Every structure is written in C-alpha cells, then in structure tokens.
Chains A and B, each alone.
Chain A
Amino acid sequence: MHQKEFMQLVNPFKDKIFRIAKRLLVSSEEAEDATQEVLVKLWNKNESLNGYKSIEAFAITMTKNYSLDQLKSKRASNMTIVHDNCTHKEAGLQEKLEDKDTWNWVEKIMNNLPEQQKLIVQMRDIEEMEFEEIAKVLEMNEQAIRTALSRARKTIRERMIKIHHHGIE
C-alpha cells in the first residue's frame, strides 16, 4: 500500500480518533501526538491491515488503549494533569448567560466523568456509533454499555440543571 492510498483509507476517521483521544487526554497537543502515534502504528501494520474487518474500529481501539496507557503512566509518574477547569469556572459564572459558555459547561462535565463513561458518551453522542461497534471497541456487552451511557447522560443532565438554575437565580 502506498502512502496516498493509506491516507485515503484513514482520512474518514482520523478526526474521530483525534476527538476520542482528546476526550481522554484533554489537551489538544497530547491528542495530536496520540493520533499521530496511532496512524504510524497503523501504517507500520500496513500488510496485515487487510486482515481486520473494520480498520476504523481497530484504530479506535488502538487510540483508546494508547490514551489510557498515557494517562496511566502520567499518574504513575505523579504528574498532575493540568485542566483549566477551576480557573474557567469562575470566569464562566460571569458569562453564564452566553450560549457558548453553556456548551463549555457540558464539555467540563463530560471531562469529569469516569474514563469509561467519557468514552461511551463520546462514541455514542458525539461520534454517533452504534452500540454494536462500541461494544467491540470496549470489549463489553451492549447492555453494560447502555447502563453506563444512561448513567453518564443522567449525570450530565443533573449537573446541567444545577448550573441552569444557578444561572436563573
């Protein structure tokens, strides 16, 4: 396979793996590195790629594993992940009536979910993947995914309603 062919092959889903990596790693730079890494790994597999039914699902699985590994090694080396959650919260309160800011709230709430729920919400609500595909990537059964998704959606709702009421008062 040539580079051009390969690029055509990965083009439809490279944004998707970037977004999934970013959901887990939070920082854009790290997500870019992760995407790069996954694409290079795929490229090196080149010949054996045809053996996989869905290269996209395979790439997503690789992205998930890579990102989780990154997080693990970060935590092991005691590095704190720098979110700008706290600083933005206060600035956000002043501009809470702005629509764009309320979208940011959803993002922040999502970033505070447990990793597995983050992944599921990302894949279902944002990437619009079928439960079957998500089940394959996460190696879980569909029912467990539905349960986790419902829990995550309800958490987002609860926290959003809190913020919403706070905004009206």
Chain B
Amino acid sequence: MELNKIEKLLEKYFAAATTIEEEKELKDYFSSSNVAPTLDQYKPIFVYAVQAKQEQFIAPITLKNNKRSKIVWLSIAASVAVLLGLVLLTFNQYNELESQDLGTIDDPNIAFRETQKALNMISEHVNKGIGSVKYINEYEQTKNKIFK
C-alpha cells in the first residue's frame, strides 16, 4: 500500500473521521511486516488494538438462580420453622397442665404425715440458710471486741 494513502488515513484516524473499514486497513497495514520506517512509531497502537481483542473471558459462568429469591425463600422457611416450634412447645405445656397429677390424698392421717414431711424438708433448708448467718454473728462479736 502506498505510503501516501496510509498517511492520509492516519490523519483521518487521529481526527476520529475514519470508518471501521478504514481502521481495519490501518490495523492490517501495521500488523504486516513492511511498515515504512517513518511510521514505525504508530505500529504499537494498532498492533495493541488487534492484540487486545484476543483476550477472552475464560472463567466458568455460574448462573445462580436468582440469589435474592433464594434468600427470601430461606427466610420464609426459617420463620415457619420457628413458629411451628413455638406452637408445639406451648401446646405441650398446656397439655401437661391439664393432665398433671396434683397428688391429692384422701386419708387425713396420711395427709398429715405427708404435710409434716414437706414442712420438715422446708425447715431443714431454712436451717441450712440460718447456719451461715452464724458466721456473721462471729464477725459481729469480733468487731465488738475491737471497736468498743
């Protein structure tokens, strides 16, 4: 190709007035091995443009089926599970209350003994509690000894 024509095309190219076809001509010329030495400086521009178009997207494409709707469904499922759990729990407790054996005793003697047993148990625990109060008394006494 005549040097003249290429120079004219270049001029048009830098004025952004070339067509796609003319730009392809330039790319072809500068990719060839017989580029005029005076135009050598333009070579990288066009060679790069050709090279850059070769780059491909090679990563595998994963089309996650609508990420957002998945999250929505998951949250719905979770809330249903929680609700169901709560309903079951309260239902069970209610049932237990209904069927609970309160241990009513008909015979007054046995009832008296059982009551005594229960009260003894309570007083035992209370005594245990009082036992530790003795320590405080001890402390009080020592205190009184020192601060008269």
**Which of A's residues lie within 8 Å of B, judged by CB?**
3, 6-7, 14-15, 17-19, 22, 32, 35-36, 39-40, 43-44, 99, 102-103, 105-107, 124-128, 130, 146-147, 149-150, 153-154, 156-157, 160-161, 164
Contact = CB atoms under 8 A, between A and B. Distances in A.
Contacts of A35: 57, 59
30 contacts: A6-B63, A15-B57, A18-B55, A19-B52, A19-B53, A35-B57, A36-B59, A36-B61, A39-B61, A39-B63, A40-B62, A40-B67, A44-B66, A99-B47, A103-B47, A106-B44, A106-B48, A125-B23, A125-B49, A126-B49, A128-B24, A146-B17, A150-B14, A153-B13, A156-B45, A157-B42, A160-B42, A160-B45, A161-B41, A164-B41
Interface residues of B, number: 30
Interface-centre pick from B40, B42, B51, B59 (highest chain A CB count, 10 A): B59
Top 10 A-B residue pairs of the complex, sorted by shortest distance between their CB atoms: A18-B57, A150-B16, A106-B48, A102-B44, A149-B16, A103-B48, A146-B16, A164-B41, A43-B63, A125-B49
Interface-centre pick from A3, A22, A99, A160 (highest chain B CB count, 10 A): A160
A161 B41 CA distance: 6
B48 A107 contact: yes
Nearest to B20: A128
Contacts, number: 80
B interface SS class: helix
Given A146-B17, A153-B16, A106 B45 contact: yes
Nearest to B43: A102
Contacts of A103: 44, 47-48, 51
A160 B48 CA distance: 12
B23 to A, nearest CB: 7
A34 to B, nearest CB: 10
